[in-house]
Structure 1
Amino acid sequence: MKILLVEDDLSLGAMIVEYLRSENFDVAHIDKGLLLDNTLDTFSPDLLILDLTLPDTDGLTLCKKVRPHFQGPILILTAQDEELTEVTALNYGADSFLTKPVRPHLLLAHINAQLRRYERPRNNDSPIVITIGELHLYTQKRELTLAGKQVPLSSSEFELLFHLMSRPGQVLSRDELFSAIRQREYNGTDRSLDMRISVLRRKLEDTRPPYKYIKTVRCNGYLFLPDNS
């Protein structure tokens, strides 16, 4: 699998590259955001790691720019441990958010988890397209359209929506959904699932109750409403 790292700290970048290559990844490293578009075209990575602070731009701007046409997972590295920054990253389509200093084994765990999630809905048991109302979720291409218009999704957003749309009318618990997208048990306080639901609602143009697509079931979880048209 191919990973593209955008990191201006050359010593940190070299350490990450060396470690990931020792784990059998094909890794490219650039230190400027302006090089990203060309490197995406020439290297075609499966996963993208973006530093939040770069000399010529920032990781959030790059994430927002490439998300509509880059279908793989995006990880954000930052020295800022702030919820607002994480929320913005999720809104811009990031899949994972790691605070520096980066522990190599934790970074590897996040990368492997994202790549597993990226591949799982592609299995042969998945329907090619799930259609509910004006929504069409294409599982092989990992694309969503709403009324014929493509909706950009991060890898985690796609998988969350895949779980919800695969079982319309069924209440899916926070524990189940959290485990599916985070690969660990829900601790009762983590708000990342709720933030991702809010981002999905915004992308589905469904931000005010009563919701048309994703309904909150108090004390239980969420359900995707079936098409009653």
Structure 2
Amino acid sequence: MTAPRRILVVEDEPIINGAVTDRLVAEGYDVVRAWDGPGAVEAFGTHEPDLVVLDVMLPGFDGHEVCRRIQAVRPVPVLMLTARDDEADILVGLAVGADDYVTKPFRMRELVARVAALLRRVDRAVELAGQGLADLGDLRIDPGARRVWTGDDEVHLTPTEFDLLLCLAASPGVVLTREHLLAEVWGWSDASGTRTVDSHVKALRAKIGAERVRTVHGVGYALEPGTDR
């Protein structure tokens, strides 16, 4: 019997911390908790979680700094909890290594679904190990090692950004709808998270070049093959 996945919940509000913890335990996860920035970093090192649910506003130092520090130790999926549905705030989280976010107040069912989708992506990454290099001109993708280069420069992507790029790269030049991307990358069956796609595309463009991802307004996105060096 395999051990349950371990999740670190970092939230300073006791009611929210307790509710999230209780629901994740009921779903079969092993949960450890922290209440502030320093405690989160310490708990991450001690318990080595498979995923982190991380509030942005924390005592000590905020969730963005927590995310930056833990990702420097070991890449791990991070689901941010934010009180503001503000694109700039969300992009900061994505830039420091967060993979997804939910805005307070949130439905517990939605949070559980996001956690499950992030963990499925980890499993998919293991399945991709051993695949060959995808060469799209000066944009190169190694699915097995989960590494990306533009020209001679390696680009550091979050797990979600990498999966989004890989999905787009599977059909270069083909426009993929937001709904298709939500289903393939996030594992969602409805279209309620199209802003999530838009935010991640914006973050991806900042790293690989805005011209590489073409927007078709009202439809979705297409990856443009890079030019040969």
Q: Normalising by structure 1, what TM-score? A: 0.81
Paired residue for 1:47? 51
SS in 1 for 2:215: strand
> Residues 113 and 124 from structure 1, CA distance in 2 versus in 1: closer, same or farther, beyond 3 angstroms?
closer
Residue 49 of structure 1, CA deviation:
1.0
**Does the 8 Å CA contact 1:215/1:224 hold for their aligned counterparts?**
yes
Q: 1:129 to 1:23 in 2, by over 3 A?
A: same
User: SS in structure 2 opposite 1:191?
Assistant: helix
Contact 1:68 1:153 in 2 (8 A): no
The count of residues paired between Structure 1 and Structure 2 equals 223
Q: Runs of 5+ in structure 1 lacking a partner?
A: none
SS of equivalent residue, structure 1 residue 123: helix
- Choose the corresponding residue for 2:191, options 178, 183, 186: 186
Which stretch shifts more, 144-153 or 92-101?
Answer: 144-153
User: Which residue is equivalent to 1:104?
Assistant: 108
Inter-partner Cα distance in structure 2 for 1:125 and 1:114:
17
| Structure 2 gap segments, 5+ residues each | none
> How far did 1:151 drift?
2.7
Instruction: Give distance in 2, aligned partners of 1:122 and 1:142.
Output: 10
Give yes or no for contact 1:134–1:146 (8 Å, CA) kept in 2: yes
Is residue 93 of structure 2 the alignment partner of residue 94 of structure 1?
Answer: no
Q: Which residue of 1 aligns with 2:120?
A: 116
Give CA-to-partner distance per residue, 1:140-192, whole Å, 9 cap, x none: 333334445443322221110011122223332333223323413336x9333
Give the partner amino acid of 1:104.
Answer: M
Higher helix residue share: 2
Relative distance call for 1:77 and 1:228 in structure 2 (3 A) is closer
**The 10-residue stretch of structure 1 (133-142 or 39-48) with the greater mean CA deviation from structure 2:** 133-142
Q: How does 1:1-229 map to 2 (within 5 A)?
A: 1-123=5-127, 127-182=131-186, 183-186=188-191, 190-204=194-208, 206-207=209-210, 211=211, 213-218=212-217, 220-229=219-228
Deviation at residue 54 of structure 1 after TM alignment: 0.8
Alpha-carbon separation, structure 2, partners of 1:158 and 1:124: 12
1:71–1:142: 8 Å Cα contact kept in structure 2? no
Deviations 1:20-76 (A, max 9, x none): 122221211111211333333332211111111111111123224434554332111
Query: For residues 98 and 43 of structure 2, what CA distance do their matches in structure 1 show?
Result: 19
| RMSD (Å) for aligned C-alpha atoms | 2.8
SS in 2 for 1:195: helix
Contact conserved, 1:49 with 1:74, CA < 8 A, in 2?
A: yes
TM-score, structure 2 as length reference:
0.81
The 3-state SS of whatever aligns with 1:3 is: strand
Superposed CA deviations along residues 84-105 of structure 1, whole A, max 9, x for unmatched, are 3223323333222223344332
Task: Say if 1:67 and 1:154, in contact at 8 Å, map to a contact too.
Answer: no
Q: Secondary structure at the match of 1:28?
A: strand
Q: Distance in 2 between matches of 1:173 and 1:110?
A: 20
Q: Which moved more, 1:2-11 or 1:79-88?
A: 79-88
For the 8 Å contact 2:140–2:149, the answer to whether it is kept is yes
